[in-house]
């Protein structure tokens, strides 16, 4: 049995749909919805995307050694697909797995563990990519955001892009099983903000500023604060444009 891509017209949340189907899905199977009615974001937020404007896509992983590897595979696959279409787009990762263009969010990933009989049975990683929202529509959102249309003037169809993402996830997942470190190192390198001064806002609202010194073995963010390395498992990273002088021109590393 091989992994499948399931596409539906509409669902509440592709992550929830995969959670319901998880036991019946082959490892690596993916689920895409043309309309997502109740998308969920990180830290309990909503992810709102009107029909036809965004890629809403979730993948089921049953064989990763660390939970955060699932998000890393999806993020890298998305980066590769986007680069195929728009090679000059300066996309980079903002920890943990947001894709950014300059100061604007293009895409986010929500990874959720699946627990069965008290054990981690796998991880669902769902990605939302802004495709066709206009600049005016994006301006209504709470935080600075962009879309492929806003960046390139081209409209994107969901089904072909979702097939490309599915195919790239299969390739990277196979490569990951052969050599996990190759994939994780690539993901770390695409975290272009390593070395920059960043602020992290924890779920309880406390803010810390430090130098993003790297990513721990378990995916936690490492910030050097007053000479001491501190780890953060979750939170919102804020980009300080003043600390990134070349940001508008460079964008990402590979």
Q: Can you give the binding site for ligand BTN, defined by CB under 6 A?
A: 13-15, 36, 39-42, 45, 47, 56-58, 98, 108-110, 126-128
| Between 124 and 183, CB nearer to ligand BTN | 124
Tell me how far, at minimum, the Cβ of 161 lies from ligand BTN, in Å.
13
What is the DSSP-derived secondary structure letter of residue 243?
A: G
| Between 110 and 148, CB nearer to ligand BTN | 110
Confirm if 69 and 184 have CB atoms less than 8 A apart. yes
Tell me how far, at minimum, the Cβ of 24 lies from ligand BTN, in Å.
19
Tell me how far, at minimum, the Cβ of 14 lies from ligand BTN, in Å.
4
Closest residue to ligand BTN: CB criterion:
108
| Between 7 and 213, CB nearer to ligand BTN | 7
Could you give the CA distance from residue 106 to residue 94 in angstroms, rounded to a whole number? 11
| Between 75 and 172, CB nearer to ligand BTN | 75
Q: Please, which residues bridge with residue 35 across strands?
A: 10
Confirm if 105 and 129 have CB atoms less than 8 A apart. no
User: Please, which contacts does 228-235 make with residues 24 or more away whose CB atoms are closer than 8 Å?
Assistant: 232/200, 232/202, 232/208, 234/42, 234/43, 234/202, 234/203, 235/200, 235/201, 235/202, 235/203
Tell me how far, at minimum, the Cβ of 55 lies from ligand BTN, in Å.
8
Burial of residue 206 (number of CB atoms within 10 Å: 0-12, 13-18, 19+): exposed
Could you give the CA distance from residue 206 to residue 87 in angstroms, rounded to a whole number? 38
| Between 60 and 249, CB nearer to ligand BTN | 60
| Between 47 and 61, CB nearer to ligand BTN | 47
Tell me how far, at minimum, the Cβ of 117 lies from ligand BTN, in Å.
25
What DSSP letter does each residue of 149-203 carry, written as one string? Answer: HHHHS----HHHHHHHHHHHHHHHHHHHHH-HHHHHHHHHHH-TTTTSEEEEE-T
| Between 58 and 191, CB nearer to ligand BTN | 58
Confirm if 190 and 203 have CB atoms less than 8 A apart. no
Tell me how far, at minimum, the Cβ of 54 lies from ligand BTN, in Å.
7
131 closest CA partner among 151, 148, 146: 148
Tell me how far, at minimum, the Cβ of 91 lies from ligand BTN, in Å.
15
């Amino acid at each position: 049995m091989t992994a499948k891509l399931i596409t539906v017209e509409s669902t509440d949340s592709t992550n929830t749909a995969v959670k319901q189907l998880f036991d019946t899905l082959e490892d690596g199977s993916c689920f895409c919805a043309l309309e997502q009615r109740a998308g969920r974001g990180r830290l309990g937020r909503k992810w709102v995307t009107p029909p036809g404007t965004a890629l809403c896509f979730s993948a089921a992983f049953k064989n990763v050694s660390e939970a955060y590897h699932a998000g890393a595979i999806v993020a890298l696959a998305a980066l590769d697909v986007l680069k195929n279409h728009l090679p000059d787009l300066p996309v980079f990762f903002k920890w943990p797995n947001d894709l950014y263009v300059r100061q604007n969010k293009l895409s986010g990933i929500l990874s959720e563990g699946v627990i069965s009989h008290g054990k981690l049975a796998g991880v669902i990683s769902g990605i939302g990519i802004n495709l066709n929202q206009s600049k005016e529509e994006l301006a209504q959102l709470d935080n600075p955001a962009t879309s492929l249309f806003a960046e390139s003037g081209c409209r994107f169809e969901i089904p072909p892009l979702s097939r490309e993402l599915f195919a790239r996830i299969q390739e990277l997942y196979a490569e990951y099983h052969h050599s996990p470190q190759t994939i994780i190192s690539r993901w770390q390198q695409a975290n272009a903000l390593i070395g920059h001064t960043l602020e992290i806002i924890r779920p309880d609202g406390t803010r810390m500023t430090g130098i993003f010194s790297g990513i721990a073995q378990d995916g936690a963010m490492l910030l050097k604060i007053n000479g001491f390395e501190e780890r953060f498992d979750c939170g919102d990273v804020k980009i300080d444009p003043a600390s990134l002088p070349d940001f508008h021109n460079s964008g990402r590393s590979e």
